[in-house]
Amino acid sequence: MTENLARADALEERLALIPPLIDVDAHVVEPPDLWSKRLPARLRDIGPRIERAPGGEVTLVDGRYVEVPGTEGPDVAWWVYENSRTQIKRYIAAAGVPADEVTNEGIDYPDMRPGCWIPSERLLDMDRNGVQAQMCFPNYVRFCGQIFLWGKDRELAKLCVEAYNDWMVEEWCGPSEGRLIPLCLVPLWDVDLAVAELRRNAARGVRAVAFSELPAYLDLPSLHSGYWDPFFAACEDTGTVLSMHIGSGTKTPQTSADAPGAVGATIIFGNSVASMTDFLFSGVLHRFPNLKLLYAEAQIGWIPYVLERMDDVWETHRGWANGQLNCPELPSTYYYRQISSCFFKDSVGVELLDKVGLDNVLFETDYPHQDGTWPHSREAAAMQFGHLEQTAINKIARGNAIKLLGLSFPI
């Protein structure tokens, strides 16, 4: 009893040191009319829309869900786009649901917290969680809008990207007085279209764009090809942060077809390892020294070793590995200058903070996903880094995010 009281007192002391959070990785469940009320009438029957049908089978094939509605049972909400169908699943709208009740089965909008998709309700859930401002990645369209990359009708896909961005800026974020931070998509299949859409949104104050951590995994040109340089130049020119969510390469690390889902859920950060290594050795950050990268939901504990290994490869294998070909300085030099990563469950990373870089880490909540910490995110922050000096606490909880995204909140 005495020990428990001491722990509670220690937590209360730490909680008092945690300022209002700036959350750089939450998610929005797209509202059912997002596209149906924005697309031209002639395209609404093939554009993204909600239909109701019984839940069905879900199979993961090369990182993509293949889903077929069932024939019996209660109706759930299905996103339908061209010939694809995707049911809204419980684990992507799990806020407030006990862990043993969270599955990958389909649900409908009344089955989730209104804060998942209604901006005014999201602000209330942020208040409950001690979050002052929040940036949200998509759900249905995948974390960098891959769903539109896979669309057959390119005109429709482009209009869908623009409609999402208009909704994000005008409806999701617009009335929030800056508390909801816009994160926009680009047409991934054409770098010129991507640049144009990036600039269109930057002109109205958007300072973050979703991108794939591993575009080659999406059968797009690699980071080494130079294809994306006009896009990176536009990001640098507009001060737009290239924001890459874990899993935005679609393919995720797997060990075997018969491994339980827990295996993939544990090692998914491997994609971020690959992405960061790709960016550093590709020379992208050398060519664009003011380009800023953000890794979302990647955690941070793996970063010190990866930096150490990259620096060693750069030096030790200089005769054959071409590490210095496009990366004339130690890879870690570019990391500390241009890369940020966020975490919400990584006490190991906090222990290694001097090597991760105090100025390179931000906090997140992952609301409303099952992995998220809502409504106890301040407690999660207090337990993980509430023992640090106040200056360090403030940087992780909000200051680094404010600086990175150019927000108007006090640090």
Answer for the pair 248, 242: CB distance below 8 angstroms, yes or no. no
Residue 271 confidence (pLDDT): 92
Residue 255 confidence (pLDDT): 87
Answer for the pair 173, 44: CB distance below 8 angstroms, yes or no. no
Buried b (16+ CB within 10 A) or exposed e, 82-91: eebbbbbbbe
Q: What amino acid is encoded at 360 in this protein?
A: N
Q: What amino acid is encoded at 181 in this protein?
A: I
Confidence of residue 339 (pLDDT cuts 50, 70, 90): very high
* Residues contacting 397, CB < 8 A, separation 6+: 18, 19, 20, 21, 22, 363, 381, 385
Residue 252 confidence (pLDDT): 80
Report CA-CA distances (Å) from 303 to 87, 121, 335, 355: 35, 36, 10, 8
Average pLDDT over residues 116-143: 97
For residue range 231-255, list pLDDT tens digits in order: 999 999 999 999 999 988 777 888 8
Structure tokens at 209: 């764009």
Mean pLDDT score of the chain: 94
Average pLDDT over residues 189-201: 98
| Interatomic CA distance for residues 86 and 76, integer angstroms | 10
Residue 144 confidence (pLDDT): 96
For residue range 96-120, list pLDDT tens digits in order: 999 999 998 999 999 999 999 999 9
Residue 56 confidence (pLDDT): 84
Q: Are strands 49-54 and 75-81 parallel, antiparallel or unpaired?
A: antiparallel
Q: What amino acid is encoded at 410 in this protein?
A: P
Q: Torsions phi, psi of 27, nearest 5?
A: -140, 155
Strand-pair partners of 137: 27
Confidence of residue 265 (pLDDT cuts 50, 70, 90): confident
Percent of the chain at pLDDT > 70 equals 97
Average pLDDT over residues 175-195: 98
| Interatomic CA distance for residues 112 and 105, integer angstroms | 13
For residue range 286-333, list pLDDT tens digits in order: 999 999 999 999 999 999 999 999 999 999 999 999 999 999 999 999
Structure tokens at 252: 């995720």
What are the DSSP E strand ranges found in 138-186? 180-181
Residue 3 has pLDDT above 70, yes or no: no
| Interatomic CA distance for residues 53 and 43, integer angstroms | 22
Lowest mean pLDDT among 221-225, 247-251, 301-305, 391-395: 247-251
Average pLDDT over residues 128-141: 97
Determine the 3-state secondary structure of 272 from DSSP.
Answer: helix
For residue range 40-88, list pLDDT tens digits in order: 999 999 999 999 999 988 776 665 678 888 889 999 999 999 989 999 9
Average pLDDT over residues 331-340: 98
